Chains A and B, each alone.
Chain A
C-alpha cells in the first residue's frame, strides 16, 4: 500500500487525529460562541468588536492541532524529504505524541467555548467589562498550550 511502512501509518494516524479532534473542538466552539454573539449583536450592534475576540479564542486549539500534525509530517519526512522508514515502535511513538493536543485540545476548546459564551453574555450586560470576559476565556487557553507543549516536546524527543 503506497509503499509506506506500517510505522509511518501510525504516525500519519496520529497527525490526522491531532488536526481532526482539536479542529472539531474548535469548530463547534467557535460556532457556538458565534451564535451567542449574533444574538447579542442583533440587539446591540456596538458589541461586535468584543464578542468577535471572544468568538476567536476557542479557535486556537484547531491551529495547535494543525501545527502538531504538520510537525509530524515534517519529522517523518512526508513533506520536505523522503518518507523515513519508521519501525512500528517509532510510529506508535509519534502517534502517542499527538494525543495530548488531540484530546487536550478538543476538551479545552469545548470548555473555552462555554466560558466564551458566558463572556458574551457578560458583555451583553456590562459592555465596559469586556476585558474581564476575555481574560476568563483566555485562562482556559493555558491547558491547550500545555497540551501543545507536551506534544511538541515528545515529537522532538523521538529519534528518527
Chain B
C-alpha cells in the first residue's frame, strides 16, 4: 500500500465537492445570455477569479487562472511532483509548438503561451527556440525539436511533438507503475489515432503519411486493422470487438451525416471520463488525484463550450448537444 497520497486524497475528497455538478452546468447552459451564465460561476470556486476578470469576454482568462490555481495547488499538496509533471507535459509541448511556429513565421504569438503550469520554465523554452540549442530540454522533446528545425514543415511541428508527448506520457505511466494511468493513456492514444485515421482518410492522405501521423503506444494496431479504402461502415465493423466499439459506431454514424467529428469527440471525452470515474472508489493510491485533475479539465472544457455558445447566441439545445458528462 502506498501511503504517501493519503493526505492529498483526503483534501481531494473535499475539493471534489466544489466541482460544478450537473445542476450548475445545466443552469449555465440554460441561462438567457452570456452574462447570466457567467454569473453562475460567481457561486462557485471560480468566484475569486471573477473579481479579477469581470467582463464576460474575458472568460478564457478566468479558465486559465483556475487551471493555473489547480495545478499549483496539486503540486503543493503531493509528496513528489512525478504525477503532476506527467499531466503538465502537455503545456510544455504546447508552448514549444507555439514558439517554434511563431519563430518560423516571425510573429509574436505569446498570447497563446500557457505560463506557470508546465514543468519547464517558459524562459528556458524561449531561450532554446531563439538560440536553436535544445540541449537543455528533456530527451524526447529535444530529439523532436531537432528533427523539426532540420526540416521545417508546419504540420511536422505538431506531428513530431505529439509523438514525443505521447511517448513521454506512456513512459511516465510505466515509471509510476500504474495500470490505471497506462490504461488511460492507451485509450486516449487509440481514440486519437482513430480520429487521425478518419482525417487522413478524408484528406486522401497516403498510407506513409498515416503511419507517421499515428501516435505510438496504443493498444490497437490501426495500420493492420483498417485500410484507408474502407468505408466508414467497414471501419466501425472492424473496430466492433474493441472497447471503443460504441464510441466508434456512434461517432462515425454522426460523422457520416454531419461531416464533423464533434460528436465523436464528445463520445471520446465521455468514454475517458467514464474510465477515470473508477478513481472515485480508490481509497489508498493516487488515482483520485488524477480523477480530480481530469475532472477539472473536463469542467473547464464544459464552461468553455457554454460560454462560447452563449456569446455566439447558440440555442440552448445546441449547447446541450455539445456538453460532456460531469465527474461528480
Interface residues of A (CB under 8 A from B): 32, 35-40, 42-44, 47, 114, 117-118, 120-121, 124-125
Q: In the complex, are the beta carbons of B13 and A40 less than 8 A apart?
A: yes
* Contact-residue bracket for chain B: 10 to 19
Question: Is A125 a contact of B16 with CB atoms below 8 Å?
Answer: yes
Inter-chain contact B283/A124, CB cutoff 8 Å = no
Residues 1-44 of chain B: 1 if any A CB is under 8 Å from the residue's CB, otherwise 0?
A: 00100111111111111000000000000000000000000000
Q: Which of A32, A35, A114, A125 contacts B13 (CB 8 A)?
A: A125
Q: Is the CB of B7 within 8 A of A39?
A: yes
With a CB–CB cut-off of 8 A, which chain A residues contact B15?
43
> With A and B bound together, what is the CA distance between A32 and B8 in angstroms?
12
Find the B residue at minimum CB distance from A122. Answer: B13
Task: Report the minimal beta-carbon distance from A132 to chain B, rounded to whole angstroms.
Answer: 16
A122 to B8, CA, bound (A): 15
Indicate if the CB atoms of B10 and A121 lie closer than 8 Å.
Answer: yes
Chain B min CB distance to A127 (Å): 10
B17 nearest CB neighbor, chain A only: A125
Residue contact A36 to B9, C-beta cutoff 8 Å: yes
Partner of B7, one of A35, A47, A114: A35
A35, A39, A117 interface centre (most CB from chain B within 10 Å)? A39
Q: Are A43 and B14 in contact (CB under 8 A)?
A: yes
State which of B3, B9, B283, B284 has its C-beta within 8 Å of the C-beta of A39: B9
Is A36 a contact of B14 with CB atoms below 8 Å?
A: no
Chain A: CB-nearest residue to B10: A39
A-B contact pairs, 30 of them (CB 8 A): A32-B3, A32-B6, A35-B3, A35-B7, A35-B10, A36-B7, A37-B10, A38-B10, A39-B8, A39-B11, A39-B12, A39-B13, A39-B14, A39-B77, A40-B11, A42-B10, A42-B11, A43-B15, A47-B14, A117-B6, A117-B283, A117-B284, A118-B283, A120-B10, A120-B13, A121-B9, A121-B283, A124-B10, A124-B14, A125-B16
A39 contacts B17, CB within 8 Å? no
> CA–CA, A118 to B284, complex, Å?
9
Report if A124-B17 is in contact (Cβ < 8 Å); known contacts: A43-B11, A114-B284.
yes
Smallest CB separation, B80 vs chain A (Å): 16
Asked whether A36 and B17 contact (CB < 8 A) given A43-B11, A114-B284, A121-B283, the answer is no
Residues of B with C-beta under 8 A to A120: 10, 13
| A117, chain B: closest CB distance, angstroms | 5
- Cα separation A78 to B91 with both chains bound (whole Å): 68
> A35 with B6: in contact, given A117-B283, A124-B17 (CB under 8 Å)?
yes
A40 (CB) vs chain B CBs: closest residue: B10
| Distance A120 CA – B7 CA, assembled complex (angstroms) | 11
Q: Is the CB of B16 within 8 A of A39?
A: no
| B284 surroundings in chain A (CB, below 8 A) | 32, 114, 117
A28 nearest in chain B by CB position: B3
Task: For residue A41, give the distance in angstroms from its CB to the closest CB of chain B.
Answer: 8
Distance in Å from the Cβ of A24 to the closest Cβ of chain B? 14
Chain A residues with CB below 8 A from B283, complex form:
114, 117-118, 121
Min distance, Cβ A129 to any Cβ of chain B, angstroms: 13
Contacts of A114 in B (CB 8 A): 283-284
